[in-house]
A = this chain, B = another copy of it.
Amino acid sequence: MGGILSTILDVEKESGVSKSTISRFLHGNSVTDENRVKIEQAIKKLHYKMNPIASGLKSSKTFTVGAVIPDITDSFFPPIIKEFERCMSENGYNVILSDYGNDADREIKQLEMLSDKKVDGLVVATSNTKGDHIRACLNENLPVILLDRLFPDLDCDSITVDNFSATYEAVCECIKLGHTNIGAVYGHFYTDGERIRGLQKAMKDNGLKPDPDKMLKLQLMEEAPEESIAKLLDMKDAPTLLFCSNVYLGIGALKVRLQRNLNIPNDISVLVFDDIATFPNHDYISYIKPEFSNITQPLTEIGKYAAELLLERVKNPHRKYEAVNIELKTRFKLTGSVAKLIKT
């Protein structure tokens, strides 16, 4: 056992069937029953397993795809990657994980490296604001699925969520509850922009004027959100509702709340885009009452649709296709963290 591994040539000799026929059989093409039996017996006897490297050399398919993400320790990604990997491996594909550590240049390098490595496809959660590196892959006929991002001038498949409309709807609900003085903290990513746009549209459509002094944009990873949130809280004309456009900001709000021992929603109402407790082993957060009202992204679904779309692309390597954007629905959960300011 172990050591000598047999090749298709050994199977040819053992079975008396030519290796082309064996190869065809191995790829699911039909052969005569007689040959099938001979081949199967020989394979079993020799413990033959196809060498995927040799196979890939001619066919230039590696049955390997890359998943390129900014940070696997960001709780957003593991559920996505988990489901993505599950679907891909169910279909015989392996997933190379590439964590570029939020370094936009490193992301570009990794994409190139994976392309050189001849992966069959890529899913990427990009931190770059330009899509040239993505375009380079596409040009080399390497399918890419973008996660959570859209480039206006790039014809690339993508999976996103309804950032704009979900925020719009959620904020409308809050306005119905009587909130007219709304503050927000938001980040510098595409998704933050969409969400804040939804918030502003909701205000305008309800006859309110967003106050620029109460919409604080921060460079995530550089500025701690606590300060900005505190600033909002300490205004003479402090907002009655705080919108946090992503989970970091929501966690910032949670920290401020715990630090100052705030009463939510009496001191301030809170609405967060994203779920703070995305990890199974962080569900204890639900015991800290009231939970923040939030807009939850379907992380597992994102992974699933990314896999399905990518599989479609890699299985039909030569078919020309129109890029599609799959926009998934979020779920809005209104909790006691948003006060009812008027009787309804």
The answer on a CB contact under 8 Å between B96 and A2 is no
The answer on a CB contact under 8 Å between B62 and A72 is no
Is A280 part of the binding interface, using a Cβ–Cβ cutoff of 8 Å? yes
Residues of chain A in range 1-25 having any CB-CB distance to chain B below 8 Å: 1-3
Is A290 part of the binding interface, using a Cβ–Cβ cutoff of 8 Å? no
- Nearest opposing residue in chain B for A59, CB measure: B53
Report the bound CA distance from A108 to B225 in whole Å.
45
The answer on a CB contact under 8 Å between A82 and B86 is no
Is A30 part of the binding interface, using a Cβ–Cβ cutoff of 8 Å? no
A141: chain B residues within 8 A (beta carbon) = 2-3
The answer on a CB contact under 8 Å between A73 and B79 is yes
Is A235 part of the binding interface, using a Cβ–Cβ cutoff of 8 Å? no
User: Contacting chain B: which of A36-44, A97-105, A154-162, A193-201?
Assistant: A97-105
- Nearest opposing residue in chain B for A257, CB measure: B287
The answer on a CB contact under 8 Å between B95 and A97 is yes
Is A291 part of the binding interface, using a Cβ–Cβ cutoff of 8 Å? no
Question: With contacts A86-B99, A139-B2 known, is A53 near B57, CB below 8 A?
Answer: yes
Q: A278-291 interface mask toward B, CB cutoff 8 Å, 1 = contact, 0 = none?
A: 01111110011000
User: Contacting chain B: which of A124-132, A171-179, A247-255, A315-323?
Assistant: A247-255
User: Contacting chain B: which of A110-118, A209-217, A328-336?
Assistant: A110-118
The answer on a CB contact under 8 Å between A73 and B82 is yes
Report the bound CA distance from A283 to B81 in whole Å.
22
Report the bound CA distance from A57 to B7 in whole Å.
13
Report the bound CA distance from A280 to B279 in whole Å.
12
Q: A56-77 interface mask toward B, CB cutoff 8 Å, 1 = contact, 0 = none?
A: 1100101010010001111100
Beyond the given A1-B139, A67-B97, A85-B99, please list 10 additional residue pairs across the A-B interface where CB-CB is below 8 A.
A3-B141, A64-B96, A89-B98, A89-B110, A94-B96, A96-B97, A247-B281, A251-B281, A251-B283, A288-B288
Interface of A toward B, CB cutoff 8 Å = 1-3, 49, 51-54, 56-57, 60, 62, 64, 67, 71-75, 78-79, 81-82, 85-86, 89, 94-99, 101, 110, 113-114, 116-118, 136, 139-141, 247-248, 251, 254-255, 258-259, 279-284, 287-288
